[in-house]
Amino acid sequence: MILAMENAALSAIADYLEPGERAVGTAIDVRHLAATPVGLRVVATAVVTKVDGQHIVFDVTAHDGIEEIGKGTHQRMVIDLHRLQQRLDAKSARAAATREN
């Protein structure tokens, strides 16, 4: 259910991301309200409620066609993939240096 909610949030903003940008999940606060039997289709929705720079907040819900099964909030941060890769490469280099010592 949470994966469906996160995917709904990403889908809600995908068309607004620039080339080389991605939005990564940074927080989720969800209540599971009801069980869903195997075979029912679960649909998740996400509505943007706040944008503060690169930080985006969503209201998320999940429904199984009978009742609401979950609701809460989800947050994502827009990142530049190139800058992220540079930071990860630097961190890997530091970790390798630490292992060598």
Structure tokens belonging to residue 55: 């930080």
Assess contact for 75 and 26: CB atoms under 8 A. Answer: yes
pLDDT at residue 101 above 80?
no
What strands lie across the sheet with 21-32, from one edge to the other? 21-32, 68-80, 55-63, 43-52
Mean pLDDT on 41-53: 98
Please compute, for residue 66, the number of CA atoms within 13 A of its CA located in the half-sphere on the CB side.
9
Mean pLDDT on 33-52: 97
pTM of the predicted protein model: 0.85
Helix, strand, or coil here: 80?
strand
What residue ranges define each of the domains in the chain, with the CATH number in brackets? 2-100 (3.10.129.10)
Residue-level pLDDT at 24: 96
Assess contact for 24 and 6: CB atoms under 8 A. Answer: no
